[in-house]
Structure 1
Amino acid sequence: MDKGKALHFLFVKSETKTPGGLAARPVLTSYYKSNHFKNRPFDAYNNYTSPTADIEAGSLTPRVTDPSVREAVAGILRADPELAALVRSECSKGDWAGIITRIWPSTKYLDVIVTGAMAQYIPTLKYYSGGLPMACTMYASSECYFGLNLRPMCDPSEVSYTLMPNMCYFEFLPMDSAAASGGDASQLVDLARVEVGREYELVITTYAGLNRYRVGDVLQVTGFHNSAPQFRFVRRKNVLLSIESDKTDEAELQRAVERASALLRPHGAAVVEYTSQAYTKSIPGHYVIYWELLAKGPAGGAAVGEGTLERCCLEMEEALNTVYRQSRVADGSIGPLEIRVVRPGTFEELMDYAISRGASINQYKVPRCVTFPPIIELLDSRVVSSHFSPALPHWTPGQRSDSD
């Protein structure tokens, strides 16, 4: 870090209020808005410049109106028409492949998080960076910093974290035990007793006062560094769908489907089966819900038109939690929800496929979220119509939902 400079993108999210009036916001947003950050002493390793300046003219954007800020920045700005011409030329070529190294040719690597749900952005990062190495350095959450990747330049698919026992007291709930679905503390194992290959839910006791707090992350032990176990992030527990910071579980998805399907009743139709996927092949990603409709009554479901199904999409979004709706409305990090109607009999075909792969016909249940490519291909090959939410769901800062 003492050999050059870093370009950081710092994102501040909208905050909400608890019923008692306390501010609720992500930990990084809290830090970036704090006096501790804004009035920090000079540090060569954390030297930030803001707000945006006009490179060509060497002047501050007119949007900054505070006189003291303008005066302070004006003292250090210098016009650089040559650099401005380079940026304008590269960005106007239409093809943004490798744009990072075209503008900053000395760039050595990207410092990013590409595990879990963030893995969807690896192809995009490769495209814009021209294939620069990606360093995934740490594992942390709002509750606590957890661990470091001791091989930060490894391939993203090989990232494992070594947990640091001085950050908090770590315990682990085996995912193959009865305690995983309950809360039996007798099943907990400490950091020194985890086994390679097994999956555990992370449980922490922190200096800030969280006592045996279930983080909700499922980790798999991949090996050891000396005597310290190393873990791979597997998934969020009980989360079906997640695009960004949103987390939708099975019960919430069920409620949303029920609420939306009520709009079908006047048209003589109902949802007979459904499943879902977090579609991340485009950015922003979005929820895809597969519906198989059952036609009832003399109308036979024929009157269910485009407008009704679009309203069903929006109704589902209105039923989802505040974090999802904030991401849709304020952040734009999730795209409109999509309902794909599949032809009758599709879910029977899905069951036949699962049984052909060894599933028990007596214990088979329709998966409420699918990730296995052949299953997604089967569903997509049976789609008869596709519909998107026509508007943004309702969301206002400070709003909370029952599932928050």
Structure 2
Amino acid sequence: MAIWASIELHSKCIRFALVLLVLSIIIASGQRLDLLGMPGPLPVAVGILSLSVMALLWRDIRSKVTGDNRTLISLLNQYFTFKFVGWLGKRQRAKLEADTLNICQVQEETLLKRLRKNADTLYGKQYDFSSNNDSEAFRARHPVTMYEHYRELVRRVAAGEERVLIAEKPLILAMTSGTSGPCAMHLSTKETNTEFFLQGVAVCLDAMRLAFPASDSLQRTTKFFYSPTFRQSEAGIPIGPNSSTPASSRHLLNLYTSPATTYQVPSERDALYLHLLFALKDPSVGTLESNFASTVFYAFLALQERWQELVEDIELGRVSPSLTLEPWIRSSLDGHMKPDPKRTSQLRSEFQQGFVGIARRLWPQLNLVLAVDSGSNQIYGDMLRENYCQGVPFYSPFYAATEGLIGVNLWPEEQQSRRYLLCPRSMFCEFLPEANLDLETPEKHTLLMGEVEEGQSYELVITNASGLFRYRMGDILKVVGFHNQCPVVEFQYRRGQMLSVRGEKVSEAMFLRALRQAVSQWPGAQLVDYCCAESGILGESCGGSDPHYQVFVELKGLRNLTEEQRYKLDQCLQDGSAIYKSFRFRGSIGPMRVQMVSEGAFQELRTKMMAFSDTSANTFKMQRVLRRKEYADFLLGKTIS
């Protein structure tokens, strides 16, 4: 089932509603409906029916409207979109619930579907997919793989060779963010996109509606999204991030505060300004949305920096002349602006009171921040909740990657944890126990979905719809429970993002806990961002002979770090990791070196990382452990304390 073919249904509903509206207006004005060729009493019956239906429809719509300046078409579009996606979400949720009752059979069906579809490819013939009748035969014949296993095959696909890994031609060659190693290029297909929408988006919107009823109102959403840049492979296949602009579907545009042309602005800085401008114009914004909490956090940093310029634009009814925009884009956006002295006065008053809790003060009816705030984005979610978005609930809907949809969060009301139910029809999943991660023959130790144990951690091994078979994701998950028979997991860390100079293995989550504990003891300090490097990659600039951690932090509210404060971080990590403490006690690991970098250093680093990896702002994740010396050298050059 194609996504947009399904969504076309709601536009037909809008046209039907408009026909009813026209008939209602005609009958109400006393015009003769027999001009339309309707015999006898039928015109009157049609008119009465039209009036009745429209009255019920309009009453339902008006009960959900919280903002002004909405056109009838805009309201109808959003209303029927919500109704359609709501119906679809309930349907998909019911399918998911049924699947969780028979997890072993569903996983077998998912695997065999993948193998049969790709049996006639070069890869499928090499591993004799056609003769695999169950998962046991497949696992016995196919090795556990990593990306190097596929690199040359993906290159052949990019060059235009067909039926190499998968039977269909990929829509794009999707680049990973490279958070835990070199960037990889994956095949993104129509099937993976459809799966993501049906099994992910629709299900999570149903969960969101049940947990946050206010999200079902006809309020607009501010969606922070930036126009991705693509290049072409030799065969003309787009290469870039696995994301598409909201403007690619006209049906979705009325859901957002930003006009369509905003999503065509190439500059991230200018596009962010425009998203903020049109969000500030609308006091009834209901949701702030982005792929990741980091994008929302940096949007608020930009708002804090540029609020006076934004308010001036709303006062004058213009788009700032400081933005570099194509003339036709500027003309289109100016058409959405007019002077608004009342809103200007409200905004100035709120900004002058400071930025703690600013989100709810700017948008009193804001009911949700919709963004992933687990894993490397946990820090940004925490900072938003503590500062800009106090009192606003967060919903982290998906656990997903470039490789596809992995899990959905069915418990939006839980604000202290992020649990994801694995999607049994999205991927065939295997689980490598954490104790076996470094074994030379991992294929002999993987477990199936029905074999994992609560409380244990595993590396996820997937077979997906786009040419990855028994592929080690590098994600370490902890099974925290079961929903019927299906595992519920929490993300723990990326295998490539471990700090380890003597084999001690300090995970991202462990280090972040120590860092937050230390910062809480630095008076006035607010953590903005951080990353680490192992001394071995720094060469002569490492600053010490013993292996150690080099830590870079960006802070607000603090001008410099004392030696006592730097040591406090080392002490907090020793308190949280007995293994690290033992190495420090023996002198095998030297004291960590903590460098405070200048304001904006991490935003500059982010730009460098995106340029290197072909990653867009929509899919970027900050690397917590730097593996490239030039990134560490860049931050050393930004050190102020």
Question: Shorter-chain TM-score: which interval?
Answer: 0.5 to 0.7
Give the superposition deviation at 1:108.
Answer: 1.4
- Letter paired with 1:129: C
Aligned counterparts of 2:531 and 2:235: Cα–Cα separation in 1: 24
- Please list, as runs of the form range in 1=range in 2, the aligned pairs for 1:5-404 lying within 5 A after superposition: 5-11=220-226, 25-28=240-243, 31-32=244-245, 37-43=246-252, 46-47=255-256, 49-50=258-259, 51=262, 52=274, 54-62=313-321, 63=323, 65-93=325-353, 95-121=354-380, 122-156=382-416, 158-177=417-436, 179-240=437-498, 253-261=534-542, 270-277=544-551, 279=553, 282=555, 354=578, 366=588, 399=612
Q: Secondary structure at the match of 2:221?
A: coil
Gaps of 5+ in 2: 1-214, 263-273, 278-312, 500-507, 513-527, 614-625, 630-641
Q: Does structure 2 retain, via aligned residues, the 8 Å contact 1:173–1:201?
A: yes
- Greater strand share, 1 or 2? 1
Q: Give the 3 Å change call, closer, same or farther, for CA 96–340 of structure 1 in structure 2.
A: closer
Q: Secondary structure at the match of 1:215?
A: strand
Q: Give the 3 Å change call, closer, same or farther, for CA 395–220 of structure 1 in structure 2.
A: closer
Aligned counterparts of 2:399 and 2:462: Cα–Cα separation in 1: 14
Aligned counterparts of 1:174 and 1:82: Cα–Cα separation in 2: 60
- Greater helix share, 1 or 2? 2
Q: Secondary structure at the match of 1:229?
A: strand
- Letter paired with 1:131: G
- Letter paired with 1:10: F
Give the superposition deviation at 1:188.
Answer: 1.4
Q: Give the 3 Å change call, closer, same or farther, for CA 74–340 of structure 1 in structure 2.
A: closer
Q: Secondary structure at the match of 2:360?
A: helix
Give the superposition deviation at 1:200.
Answer: 0.5
Q: Does structure 2 retain, via aligned residues, the 8 Å contact 1:17–1:399?
A: no
Aligned counterparts of 1:259 and 1:20: Cα–Cα separation in 2: 44
Q: Does structure 2 retain, via aligned residues, the 8 Å contact 1:218–1:236?
A: yes
- Letter paired with 1:271: S
Q: Does structure 1 retain, via aligned residues, the 8 Å contact 2:221–2:257?
A: no
Give the superposition deviation at 1:109.
Answer: 2.3
- Letter paired with 1:236: R
Give the superposition deviation at 1:136.
Answer: 1.9
Which structure would you say has the larger Rg? 2
Q: Give the 3 Å change call, closer, same or farther, for CA 189–78 of structure 1 in structure 2.
A: same
Tell me what 2:124 maps to.
none
Tell me what 1:331 maps to.
none
Aligned counterparts of 2:529 and 2:462: Cα–Cα separation in 1: 21
Aligned counterparts of 2:540 and 2:228: Cα–Cα separation in 1: 29
Aligned counterparts of 1:150 and 1:206: Cα–Cα separation in 2: 22
Give the superposition deviation at 1:126.
Answer: 2.9
Aligned counterparts of 1:402 and 1:15: Cα–Cα separation in 2: 25
Q: Secondary structure at the match of 2:252?
A: coil
- Letter paired with 1:260: S
Q: Secondary structure at the match of 1:86?
A: helix
Aligned counterparts of 2:552 and 2:230: Cα–Cα separation in 1: 25
Q: Give the 3 Å change call, closer, same or farther, for CA 170–364 of structure 1 in structure 2.
A: farther
Aligned counterparts of 1:388 and 1:59: Cα–Cα separation in 2: 36
Q: Does structure 2 retain, via aligned residues, the 8 Å contact 1:239–1:247?
A: no
Q: Secondary structure at the match of 1:85?
A: helix
- Letter paired with 2:456: R
Higher relative contact order, structure no. (Cα contacts within 8 Å, ≥ 6 residues apart)? 2
Give the superposition deviation at 1:72.
Answer: 3.4
Q: Give the 3 Å change call, closer, same or farther, for CA 106–195 of structure 1 in structure 2.
A: same
Q: Secondary structure at the match of 1:84?
A: helix
After TM superposition, the score normalised by the length of structure 1 is 0.61
Q: Give the 3 Å change call, closer, same or farther, for CA 246–101 of structure 1 in structure 2.
A: closer
Give the superposition deviation at 1:238.
Answer: 3.4
Q: Secondary structure at the match of 1:208?
A: coil
- Letter paired with 1:100: A
Q: Give the 3 Å change call, closer, same or farther, for CA 228–44 of structure 1 in structure 2.
A: farther
Q: Give the 3 Å change call, closer, same or farther, for CA 45–258 of structure 1 in structure 2.
A: same
Q: Does structure 2 retain, via aligned residues, the 8 Å contact 1:180–1:201?
A: no
Give CA-to-partner distance per residue, 1:254-294, whole Å, 9 cap, x none.
43233424xx7xxxxx52342345757x369xxx9x9xxxx
Q: Secondary structure at the match of 1:192?
A: helix
Q: Give the 3 Å change call, closer, same or farther, for CA 386–136 of structure 1 in structure 2.
A: closer
Gaps of 5+ in 1: 265-269, 291-338, 369-378
Give CA-to-partner distance per residue, 1:222-250, whole Å, 9 cap, x none.
111112110011111131366999987xx
Q: Give the 3 Å change call, closer, same or farther, for CA 402–75 of structure 1 in structure 2.
A: closer
Which deviates the most, 388-397 or 222-231? 388-397
Give the superposition deviation at 1:78.
Answer: 3.5
